[in-house]
Amino acid sequence: MKILIPKKIKNATEYGDHVSFAIETKGVIGQHSRYENWNCYMQCMGSLDQKIHCYPVEGESSALPKSVFERWVKLCIQNGLMPKTTDVATEKNRHICVFNGAEQSAHTMYTALCCYRWSQKQPAIAWTVVVALAKNPKLDFFQALQYALNIYVQNSNHCFLPYNYGNQQHWNLNYPILGRSLVPAIAAKAFFVNDKSIKRKRATINEIELIWIKWGFKPPDLATVIAQDQEDILWSGWSELFRIQPDKKALTAAYEQIKGSR
């Protein structure tokens, strides 16, 4: 599947995660609760149970077409990466999201912030996922997300899945075949389907890692369920792996059966 990235979106996909956000508490955004042009959400990690307003940095417009942005948000909501109560708006070509953390999983609030930032600073991620699923509705969302993150994620500290990490990063050194292994994306889907964590006891990426370890996958085992190359991640046949209730035995057996039917 060939996914062309429009020039405007390609040019907006840059190294740098600067966005702006504001924390609303009891209906009020305080004087010191606005963070303009910040490249980290650390300031709101302790406020994930509040309302968080996300918007582009001053002077920047959003590269994604409004329809693609809204489709990206809808997909994220459907797959547990944004709260169901997410509000969206577009004002003067600037896309805005408001995430309400009341009685919401802290992990979902964190991933919502990540997904919003990608839509603004690495919009090729959202574009790729939306276009891939439009071209082939049989694909699983997390399958398309893995494909996009593999190519366009640029900051390992700001991603909840272990893809496209630099040579000096923990994940790349310990799991060098993660980019093509389908296991982490399948584990991510299992995590977000069942997650009800009001508090984050561990980083989201570590919670997902615990799932595939619980299934019985140690680092070398991740290569037993793997795409042939980057493009093969989007093969329709792999989508069946995202629909089973897996453990290592079941997932490996299904993988071998699907691979053998090609």
The answer to whether residue 96 scores a pLDDT higher than 50 is yes
- What is the pTM for the complete model shown? 0.90
- Least confident stretch, 51-60, 76-85, 167-176, 215-224: 167-176
The pLDDT of residue 127 is: 97
DSSP string over 196-221: --SS-SS-HHHHHHHHHHHTT--GGG
* AA letter at 201: K
Phi/psi at 163 (5° precision): -120, 150
DSSP string over the chain: ---PPPHHHHHH--S---EEEEEEETTEEEEEEEEEEES--GGGGGGTTSEEEEEPPTT----S-HHHHHHHHHHHHHTTSS-TT-EEEEETTEEEEEEE-TT--HHHHHHHHHHHHHHHHSHHHHHHHHHHHHH-TTS-HHHHHHHHHHHH---GGG-SS--S--TTSHHHHH-TTTTTBSHHHHHHHHHHHH---SS-SS-HHHHHHHHHHHTT--GGGGGGSB-SSTGGGG-GGGGGGGGS---HHHHHHHHHHHHHT-
Cα–Cα distances (Å) from 214 to 161, 208, 218, 247, in that order, read 17, 10, 9, 8
Domain segments of the chain as ranges: 18-127, 162-260
The pLDDT of residue 199 is: 72
- pLDDT range class, residue 177, cuts 50, 70, 90: low
Cα–Cα distances (Å) from 187 to 107, 143, 146, 238, in that order, read 15, 11, 12, 14
The C-alpha atoms of residue 77 and residue 89 are separated, in whole angstroms, by: 15
Rounded mean pLDDT, 81-88: 95
The order of strands in the sheet holding 28-38 is 28-38, 19-25, 51-55, 94-100, 87-91
- pLDDT range class, residue 156, cuts 50, 70, 90: low
